[in-house]
Chain A
Amino acid sequence: MDSWVIAMMLGVSIFLGSIALVAFLWGIKSGQFDDEQKFLNAVKFDTQEDLNDAVDQEKKAKELKKKNYTPE
């Protein structure tokens, strides 16, 4: 009986840990840690306005992509 408890706890904790690991790997892959200075400074520029700008920029990029794909 008790051995199943051990197995379950090990499994759950390894699973939870690996979720954090995958998130971290994603962060490395998408270049979030490439520039440590900017990474640290990002805290300073985290206002509502900056967030809105980021969203606008994403929208703009999407539109440009769409435009590019439509045959002329």
Chain B
Amino acid sequence: MSHKVGCTHCHLEFNENVMIVDGEHYFCCKGCQGIYHLLKDEGLDSFYNKAGDTKLTPPTQQYEDSSNFNSPAFYDKFVSINNEGFSDVSLIIEGIHCSACVWLNEKALHKMAGVMSVNINYTNNKAKIVWDDSVLKLSSIIDMIRAIGYNAFPYDASLQEVRANKERQDYYLRMAVAIFASMNVMWIAVAQYAGYFTGITQDVKTILNIAEGVLATPVLFYSGWIFYRGAYYGIKTKTVNMDILVATGSTLTYMYSIYITAFERGEAYFDSVTMIITFVLIGKFLEVLSKKSVADTLDIMSNHVPSSIKVVEEGKIIEKNINDVKVLDIIVVCSGERVALDGTVLEGEGNFDESNLTGESEPLYKQIGDKIISGTVSIDAQIKYEATKDFAHSTLSNLVSLLEGAMSNKPRIQMMANKISEYFSAVILGFALITFLVWWFWPHSFERSFMVGISVIIIACPCALALATPVATLVGLGLASRRGILFKQAAQLETMAKATTLVVDKTGTITQGKPRVVQEHIYDGFDRSLLYSLVQNSKHPVAKGVGEFVYQEGINNFELQSVKQIPAQGISAEYMSKMIFGGNAKLMQNQGFNLSNSLDPKGSLRPNGTSHVSENSEFYFAFDGKIVAKYELFDTPKVDAKESIKAIQELGIEVIMLTGDHQKSASKVSEEVGIKIFESELTPEGKSLYIKKLHDAGKVVVMAGDGVNDILALALADIGISMGSGSDIAIDVSDVVLLNDTLTSLSDAFKISKRTYFMIKQNLALSLLYNAITIPLAMAGYIIPLLAAISMSFSSLLVVGNSLRIRAGFKK
């Protein structure tokens, strides 16, 4: 055969004889060829040097007409006008594989007249485009992106996401100032401490104090602003939070130090001020860093909704905006299209993929009078149906709104550190006040009493306390991510450690997600190649499973005549003018085969041949008037399922399996992997109700799933875990993603979070213990600035060092 060559544009390799030859270049399709010439004409062909060997997606998809991007309704929703009068849109660009792709998109758009600025984020493929709407329309921008081989769809850059980014940037700025200043203050402080022990003249000391004061000022009032704000809200809601302790402590210390500097007596504590603010700010920042935004999820969800649909009106088919379609309108769905509204079939028949909603891979056959549900995809059906609900009330949009509700009502377990710090702050402020009063009435000068009181606050400064949780979780997260477990939010480690119940989805989570042949019966006259050729004609998962099983080196793919798909039964074809059939028992019966004879040794056949309710799916293969083979297929559990489930149960966690599948296969799977409790034939809402029930019983629930049918449950559970191969929405909704899809990583996730939580507790205990030793010393008046600084750093180091121990026990 001929050798393989790469397409000049997309670099995918195909046989030479199927490629389009264009001079010295080869192209895999017209699309690639078109793009290549476009880039060359536009002078953008240096893209290929930049892209190197990166494989791109060939532009084979057909897109809907871009002119509906110009509709006022669309502009209303996605386009905003900035204060200079230019239009502003956020797009997600599909098909970006490398930095050269970003370069090409930015370049091509920059070349268009009227485009002001294009900024594409490499990491999340989101683009922000500013343009002059009087020069060109949004549709031309989208057309350009499509012309160069990518696709773009707009998203609502909702406030949440913008706010999250702003907050993060704000923290960066404040931290940069704080770290800069405290590093410099520490240098100066070295001179101070050296002077404290070896002698220092008062004027040098004052100069050093002033320099420290200058550096501490922006730290306290700019970087520390966050604590003042937090303290204000704390007072407003009448709770003593850590912010109040930090704010009062650092402010009092700062003022006292100014007084010392001005009157040239005693020791200034400017270094403590900067250190407190910097350490606690870092701890706070680590928490902010790991907050996830809900906004992204719903963007992708709405991408699943077709924006326009074909409606029959007065004998003609016209395109209508989805929101304009009314109940009783007649809608046309072609094969491969997604159903947007619920309805009843009026004309036509065919298979629908409902895996989006039910999670089960078997397509469902629909004919006249059957209900079809929005969100499902037509596989081979060409039907007309009558809308029974408008878009706002259809299943798909219901799901979206249910999801929004579930995400905002997610139960939040109060973090341990927050709980402790509430009491801690109040106690410390109380101690400081008592110390001051006791010293003052026990005749001492006001100055001395004030200093001792402040030293209590300084020494108790919750640096270690503030770092205890974030640092430990960060180490835990790093450990987890190295094993393919991505926690989206640090706090979830703690929640997961407190989990009492694990709920798992069956298909795709415990099982492989596609049926495999578990038993093969071969009779006389069987021809492997013939069967292989037959199943190649079907996209049905059972046929695919059989095809995979019978495939071997050197198998032939015969050309078959008059191949026919018999919906919900199988396929028939002709080979050398002999009939061949492949399908379930019903097909065989309809074709007049006798299944109850000796062919089936177990006699497990049911009269109506509804093979899909047995534990195993059956596939019969008939050739020339007799059945020559029978296969039993079963969606087998993943190899590590049993072991991992056992490991999780040993951690004292109850494991429950929920599935949309029927009872028989559910019980078989649960028995095989050792799960005692399971529920079958559940709808997506059914699953989420089950989770709610567990919540009501006071359980902390972890849900693991992979499909769109699990998203409600995932969103509602305390922790949602999705498989990396799962649907995009499931990944977005969940809190944890298992990149390698194995159940071993699920049990690892539990182990790591438990270990991390244990370390958090130990850290908190350590920092409290440290306070228990130093606070009495401070109250007795034995604390000098050096001791305060050293103990502060030491306790923080202790907590960080202890956190690193999380890794022990997780070798590899």
Chain A residues engaging chain B, CB cutoff 8 angstroms: 3, 6-7, 10-11, 14, 17-18, 21, 24-25, 28-29, 31, 33-38, 41, 44-45, 49, 53, 57, 60-61, 64-65, 67-68
Contact = CB atoms under 8 A, between A and B. Distances in A.
A45 B105 CA distance: 14
Given A64-B114, A68-B84, A38 B176 contact: no
A69 to B, nearest CB: 8
A28 B169 contact: yes
B169 A29 contact: yes
A64 B107 CA distance: 18
Nearest to A6: B207
A44 B201 contact: no
A41 B121 CA distance: 12
17 contacts: A10-B188, A10-B207, A14-B211, A21-B176, A28-B173, A28-B176, A29-B169, A29-B173, A34-B121, A35-B122, A38-B121, A38-B122, A41-B102, A41-B122, A44-B50, A45-B103, A67-B132
Interface in B131-155: 132, 135
Given A3-B201, A10-B211, A41-B99, A25 B123 contact: no
Contact of A64 (B110, B120, B135, B207): B135
A28 B119 CA distance: 16
A20 to B, nearest CB: 8
Contacts of A24: 176
A34 B119 CA distance: 11
Given A6-B204, A57-B110, A64-B116, 17 more contacts: A3-B201, A6-B207, A6-B208, A7-B211, A21-B177, A34-B165, A35-B122, A37-B99, A37-B122, A38-B122, A45-B103, A49-B46, A53-B107, A61-B116, A65-B84, A68-B84, A68-B132
Contacts of B99: 37-38, 41, 44-45
Contacts of B102: 38, 41
B93 to A, nearest CB: 13
A45 B121 CA distance: 15
B14 interface: no
A44 B107 CA distance: 15
A26 B113 CA distance: 30
Given A14-B215, A21-B177, A57-B110, A28 B201 contact: no
A48 to B, nearest CB: 12
Given A3-B207, A53-B110, A17 B123 contact: no
Given A3-B207, A45-B50, A68-B132, A17 B114 contact: no
B214 interface: yes
A36 B50 CA distance: 19
Nearest to B110: A57
B172 interface: yes
Interface string B178-199: 0010001000100000000000
Contacts of A33: 172
Contacts of B46: 49
Interface residues of B, number: 39
Name the 6 nearest CB pairs between A and B, nearest first: A41-B99, A37-B122, A10-B211, A38-B122, A35-B121, A7-B207
Contacts of B172: 28, 33
Contact of B132 (A11, A38, A45, A64): A64
B211 A68 contact: no
Nearest to A64: B132
A38 B388 CA distance: 48
B24 interface: no
B690 interface: no
Contacts of B211: 7, 10-11, 14
A29 B171 CA distance: 11
A33 B171 CA distance: 13
Contacts of A61: 116-117
Contact of A25 (B85, B165, B173): B173
Contacts of A67: 132
B86 interface: yes
B203 interface: yes
A36 B168 CA distance: 14
A71 B86 CA distance: 15
Nearest to B130: A61
Interface string B89-103: 000000000010011
Contacts of B85: 68
A25 B117 contact: no
Contacts of A45: 50, 99, 103
A21 B222 CA distance: 14
B81 to A, nearest CB: 11
Contact of B184 (A7, A17, A38, A57): A17
Nearest to B121: A35
A49 B45 CA distance: 13
B221 to A, nearest CB: 15
Contacts of A28: 169, 172-173, 176
A71 B169 CA distance: 37
B50 A57 contact: no
Contacts of A17: 180, 184
Contacts of B84: 65, 68
A7 B201 CA distance: 14
A46 to B, nearest CB: 11
A14 B214 contact: yes
Contact of A36 (B123, B135, B169, B204): B123
B201 A35 contact: no
A33 B172 CA distance: 10
A35 B123 contact: yes
B754 to A, nearest CB: 32
A47 to B, nearest CB: 9
Contacts of A57: 110, 117
Contacts of B203: 3
Interface in B207-228: 207-208, 211, 214-215
Contacts of B180: 17-18, 21
Nearest to B117: A61
A67 to B, nearest CB: 8
Contacts of B169: 28-29, 34
Given A3-B207, A10-B188, A21-B176, A37 B123 contact: yes
A65 B82 CA distance: 12
B188 A25 contact: no
A27 to B, nearest CB: 10
Contacts of A6: 204, 207-208
Contacts of B176: 21, 24-25, 28
Contact of B86 (A10, A21, A41, A68): A68
